[in-house]
Structure 1
Amino acid sequence: MMSLVERTGWDRRGIEKARALRNRYGPDPLPFSVRGHRYALVLEPEDAHRVLSETPETFTPATPEKRGALAQFQPHGLLISDSGERAARRSLAEDVLDTPQPLHRMAEPLTATVREEARRLLAGSERTGRLTWDDFNAAWWRTVRRIVLGDAARDDETLTAQLQRLRAAANWSVLSPRRKELRTAFLRRVRSYVETAAAPGSQGETGGLASLVARTPAAEGVDPAGQIPHWLFAYDAAGMATMRALALLATHPEQATAAREEARAHDLAGPRELPYLRGCALESVRLWPTTPLILRESNQETTWRGGTVPAHTTFALYTPYLHRGEPAKSYGDSFAPHLWTEETAHEARANPALLPFSSGAAGCPGENLVLLTTSTFLEELLSHHAYTLASHPELRPTAPVPATLDHFALRFRVHRDG
């Protein structure tokens, strides 16, 4: 499907269509209906900001679409929780994930894990002279399982396969029945790692985030272990962003030089914030949003410039348009990691059109942890190696960055460099 979308230019046409709709109908949320359900396409950055900043009071993230999809593998997940459960589950997630901190309290063992797995990946790439998505993805999931569930989960490919099968069912949630037996087996496997981390004498540093879940007090009904599937799900998207960022750096020499200088400037023994490499990861998500549609359902009638929109309307934020169209025209189709560095990060964060990790009370609580992971992985990849992109010849510094990049097809030639 990704290959088909890339070949047909579907995302580029979607951006142009959204631009045409705004030019024709104006900036107000554009109403439409699908099978009797009301939707409104958000076309103005300030309106996107309003929808996200008034979540969950006016706009709930627990839309019917999300409930149908996410319940396949995270029935007690934060995004589909009722208002009475959401606050307590959000509190636990922010506590375990250290939401406001650029360096997680377990940053030292977590970044050591990232570097160890990245080095093992590179050892194989040095032997073959290449790096493919399949190579990277296997190493990425070993890293993620260790970070989230602990070292004991490193080789638990069964768990990842179960999650992928449940996610495939989630993609067809309207037509697909609940895979209850598979979901039960998957969740039992997740809970077993939390239970192991909670056992007397367990080693917290090797138990990953599961060890923090086991030690964090939670109110009744929170289901702490039941929050973990979403973190695994989110890390899958982070892997896509990391590989796409590497593709950008392999084809943009100026940015690659800055990234390599940052990667080589630090003692690799300890965790670092790595602002430029974080910016590369953020640009990857801006240019190719891993969540193309952010959905919120209004729980009351809302008033806009041109009138009112009924309650129980699902507001759709089409992030490829917001990130590349008129709302972000000064960045558009260019690869600009400097937008997110210390000097200019405030400007980028203040632009309501740029939503790489969503925003507001339902924004991603793991943003800093994900960026720590992706930037550290990129740091290790770039410290002593250079890359030539052997796929996607349209990625060039003199050309607009394409609106779709099929990460499954990415291939690199790998060269030892210093």
Structure 2
Amino acid sequence: MLLPTLAKGVTVRRPGVMAAAEKLQSDGTAIDTMRSLRDRYGPEPVRLRITGRSVAVLVDPADVGRLLAGSPEPFALATREKKAALKHFQPHGVLVSEGLSRERRREINERALRPENAPVEAIVRDEADLLTRHVMSTGELTWDSFNQAWWRVVRRIVLGDHARADDQLTDDLKALRQNANWAFLHPRQRGLQARFQRRLDRHLDRREGLAAQPGDLSGQVPHWLFAFDAAGVVTIRALAIGARGTRGVLESARLWPTTPVILRESTEPTRWHGTWLPAGTSFVVFTPFFHRDPDRLPYADRYAPEIWDRPRDPAIVPFSGGPGVCPGRDLVLATGAAMLDALSEHLTFPKLTAPLPKTLNHFGLRMPTDPAGTRVS
């Protein structure tokens, strides 16, 4: 379960490994493994035998709800693994902050990351129009063409129009995130990190886009850009299943979570189903299992946007949950939905049908369309 997840890349996906994972449907194998663990051990957390560590894998949806609701105390978000990974490009981000620093940074993020703070729809329509023209001329939408347009959208929303063409900024961030994939095992590239930060700070000094919001944003914006990368993956996968609107974005994130493993670390001993686990226990939530478990969810392997109109299973958490829920959730949903709707006005693509694959390699998506843009009802 864990090794394929790490191999695919935690902070930036590796194309070669993603292609192999899709071929092998590795997430399906991992989900089956989780089902067998639950059947064998029952609902209490499954403890892993790792020397010097207390690690527990959750298998009960109610336990997931409890864990996420109990963050940051007694279940801290700033785990050792996150700190090791994120120090490479956002050592002062809210995810790895604690105490008063976390409260202050969380407030800054929640205030800044609101859809009304940037002309999201207008920006998306600008870039979607250019992408539509490109797709009409080539006859297909690929990940590469979509990703270029998506990053132009992201840079304009976050940093303003002057940042639209600054590919170097996001290329440097990608390189730093590739280092973060190795967490403890890769030395920090302080020169690259400093170059990225200088470039970012020049954009921040213009106070455009979301960067016009009050507060010290320099240490927070790298995570915004990082999160928007995952949002692009969710959006093109949503196109592949014919999704529309915010429910479509949510369903894409349920079917193929871009955060496949949620981590928390206990700050005190806690009791689970009659068993006490010590302080410092690392709790693991493998989200594909909870999002695609056929034993619990009759809609596990199909596109089911209707589930977002009613109360849901507490372990279906495409944007995490509790006090640690993604502060940019509404902004991401608005941006992704606007892109889906703008492209769908003029383009139609073949749709993946149920049962949907457990692993979907977004790098390999090539979606043919009518070059004239004729809509098919």
Q: What is the TM-score when the length of structure 2 is the normalising length?
A: 0.92
Letter of the aligned partner of 2:257 in structure 1? P
For residues 180 and 307 of structure 1, what CA distance do their matches in structure 2 show?
44
Equivalent residue, structure 2, for 1:105? 116
Corresponding residue SS for 2:88: coil
Residue in 2 that maps onto 1:279: 247
Q: Is structure 2 residue 334 aligned with structure 1 residue 376?
A: no
**CA-to-partner distance for each residue in 1:110-169, whole Å, 9 max, x for gaps?**
210011001100111111111110000000001101111110000000001101100100
For 1:400, the equivalent position in structure 2 comes to 355
| Equivalent-residue separation in structure 1 for 2:299 and 2:52 (angstroms) | 37
What is the match of residue 52 of structure 2? 36
Matched, 1:232 2:233: no
Alignment of 1:112-131 (within 5 A): 112-131=122-141
- Looking at structure 1, the residues matched to 137 and 275 of structure 2 have their Cα atoms a distance apart, in angstroms, of 64
The alignment partner of 1:194 has SS state of: helix
1:248 alignment counterpart: 241
Unaligned runs of at least 5 residues, structure 2: 1-16
Supply the distance in 2 between the matched residues of 1:116 and 1:328 (Cα, whole angstroms).
42
Whole-angstrom distance in 1 between the partners of 2:68 and 2:224: 21
Match for 1:15: what amino acid?
Answer: I
What is the aligned-residue identity percentage?
46
Question: 5+ unaligned residues in a row in structure 1: which ranges?
Answer: 99-103, 198-206, 250-255, 260-276, 390-394
Distance in 2 between residues matched to 1:289 and 1:116, nearest whole Å = 28
Query: How far is the alpha carbon of 1:184 from its aligned partner?
Result: 1.2
Q: 2:82 aligns with which of 66, 79, 94?
A: 66
Task: Verify the 8 A CA contact 1:28 1:304 in the aligned structure 2.
Answer: yes
1:7 aligns with 2:20: no
1:238 counterpart letter in structure 2 = A
Aligned residues: 357
In the alignment, residue 368 of structure 1 is paired with which amino acid? D
Partner in structure 2 of residue 139 of structure 1: 149
Task: Answer whether contact 1:19 1:326 (CA < 8 A) is retained.
Answer: no
Q: By how many angstroms is 1:336 displaced?
A: 0.6
The 8 Å contact of residues 328 and 354 in structure 1, kept in 2 or not, is answered as no
Aligned to 2:167: 157
Deviation at 1:36, TM superposition (A): 2.5
In structure 2, how many angstroms separate the alpha carbons of the residues matched to 1:164 and 1:319? 24
Q: List 4+ stretches of structure 1 deviating above 6 A.
A: none
Cα displacement (A) at 1:369: 0.3
How far apart are 1:328 and its partner, in Å? Answer: 4.4
> Within 2, Cα distance between the matches of 1:2 and 1:22?
27
Deviations 1:276-317 (A, max 9, x none): x11111110000000000000001000111310011011000
- Indicate the residue corresponding to 2:13 in structure 1: none
Q: Is the 8 A contact 2:349 2:367 kept in 1?
A: yes
- Opposite residue 179 of structure 2, the aligned amino acid is A
Structure 1 equivalent of residue 267 of structure 2? 299
Q: What is the SS of the residue equivalent to 1:224?
A: coil
| Counterpart for residue 262 of structure 1 | none
Counterpart-to-counterpart distance in 2, 1:123 and 1:35: 56
Rounded to whole Å, the distance in 2 between the matches of 1:81 and 1:330 is 39
- Structure 1 residue 34, shift from structure 2 partner: 3.2
Q: Residues 76-87 of structure 1 correspond to what in structure 2 (within 5 A)?
A: 76-87=92-103
Contact in 2 for aligned 1:327/1:353 (Cα 8 Å):
no
TM-score, scaled relative to structure 1: 0.83
Tell me the distance in 1 between the aligned counterparts of 2:338 and 2:47.
43
SS of residue paired to 1:386: coil
Q: 8 Å contact 2:28–2:358 — kept in the other structure? A: yes
Change (3 A) 1:306 1:327: farther
Secondary structure in 2 matching 1:144: helix
Distance of 1:183 and 1:25 partners within structure 2? 45
> Given that residues 90 and 220 in structure 2 are in contact (C-alpha distance below 8 angstroms), is that contact kept between their aligned partners in structure 1?
yes
What amino acid maps onto 2:180 in structure 1? A
Separation in 1 of the partners of 2:280 and 2:263? Answer: 12
> In the alignment, which of 360, 367, 370 is matched to residue 412 of structure 1?
367
Corresponding residue for residue 36 of structure 2: 20
- The 1-side partners of 2:55 and 2:131 are apart by 45
Partner of 1:320: 288
1:385 is paired with a residue of what secondary structure? coil
In the alignment, what sits opposite 2:348?
386
Give yes or no for the alignment of 1:347 onto 2:348. Answer: no
Q: Distance in 1 between matches of 2:274 and 2:261?
A: 23
What are the Cα deviations for residues 334-378 of structure 1, in whole angstroms up to 9, with x where unaligned?
Answer: 1111222xxx2x313xx2021010011111000000000000000
Q: Residue 196 of structure 1 is aligned with which of 197, 206, 218? A: 206
Distance in 1, matches of 2:151 and 2:261, equals 25
| Structure 1: distance between partners of 2:100 and 2:362 | 39
